[in-house]
Amino acid sequence: MKTGGITLRPIGYVRSSVTDPKDLPFEGVPAQIEILERWEEALDGIENYSHIIVLGHLNGAEPRSLKVHPMGISSLPEVGLLASRSPHRPNPITVTVTRLLRRKSRTLSVDPLDLIDGTPVVDIKPYHPSTDSVFGATTPDRFGLFRLIPEEELLRHLVREASRFHGEACAGLAIGVRIAWRAMKELACDLRSREVEVLSKAGGCMTDAVQALTGANSKRLRRSDELDDTIAITKGDRKLAFAISQDPRFREAEEVLRARDEEIFTLHMK
C-alpha cells in the first residue's frame, strides 16, 4: 500500500456484513477486525480498554476538490477538505473511535465501525479519555446541519452523543436531549455556543444530557442542589424555562423519543 512514497502495511482487515459503502449507515455497524497472525501478540493488553482508535485505509479515494460540502450535503456551505471528515483525502486514512466489545485471540469485536468488509486496517491504538477527549472543544455551529436531518434520526444521534458523556442511554438522558433539541430550535443555534448558559435543578441524568450537548464547564452550566425538575437555558436576553412533567414516568429512552414535547415538559419563554 503506497501513498506518496510512504509505505503503509495492513495489520489486519475489517470483517463486516456490509460490503457496499452505499449500505453503510453514517454511524457504522457492529463489525470485527481480524489482525494478521504476526501482529497477534502486539494486541496484548488491548482487552483492558473499553474503546479503541481504528485507523483504516480506503483504497482509491482520491481528493476530487480542495473544497467540500460537509457530509456531502450540498445545501451546507463548502469548507476546506482538511477542515472536513470527507473520505476523499490526500492520504485516505480513516480514524474511528469505537467500543471494543471483546478480543478473542487476534479478532476484535467492535461496535460501531464505519468501515466496510475487507477494508485494510493500518493501526489500532487504545483510547484514553484523559488525553484523547477535550470536553469543552469548540466546533462550528451544527444547528444548520441538524435541521437537515430527519428529527427522529437526529434525536437518536443526540442520545448517542450524550450517552458517551453519561455512560448509558437512560430515560432521563433522553428527556435532557429532548429539552436540549427544543432549546436549539427556539434559540436557532447549537447549544455549544459560548453565549448559551444553563441552570439545572433537574436530576443527574437530565443535566448530564444538557451538559454533554452544551460542552459547558461550570462557567456556563450550574447544577443546583435544590432539585425542582426545572432547567433554564439562556442566550443573551432570551430565557427558556423548562419544567419537566412528572406524569407520565418514562422508563426507557425509546418511550421518551416517541413522546410529544408537551408530554415531556412545559416551556415558558422570556
Q: How far is the CB of 220 from Zn ion (least distance, A)?
A: 22
- Nearer Cβ to Zn ion (124/244): 244
Task: Pick the binder of Zn ion from 11, 31, 108, 205 (CB under 5 A).
Answer: 205
124 versus 206: smaller Cβ distance to Zn ion:
206
Q: Which is nearer to Zn ion, 219 or 249 (CB)?
A: 249
Among the residue ranges 85-93, 142-150, 164-172, 253-261, the one whose residues contact Zn ion (CB under 5 A): 164-172
Query: For Zn ion, which residue of 31, 100, 155, 170 counts as binding (CB under 5 A)?
Result: 170
Q: Is the dihedral of CA 197, 200, 204, 209 positive or negative?
A: negative
Least spacing, CB of residue 211 vs Zn ion, in Å: 12
| Site map (CB under 5 A) of Zn ion, residues 56-95, x = contact | ----------------------------------------
Q: Measured at the alpha carbon of residue 21, what is the angle toward residues 17 and 27, in degrees to the nearest 5?
A: 75
Using rule CB under 5 A, residue 191 touches Zn ion: no
Torsions phi, psi for 150 (to 5 deg): -50, 135
In the bound complex, what is the minimum distance in angstroms from residue 225's beta carbon to Zn ion? 18
Residues that bind Zn ion (CB under 5 A): 170, 172, 205
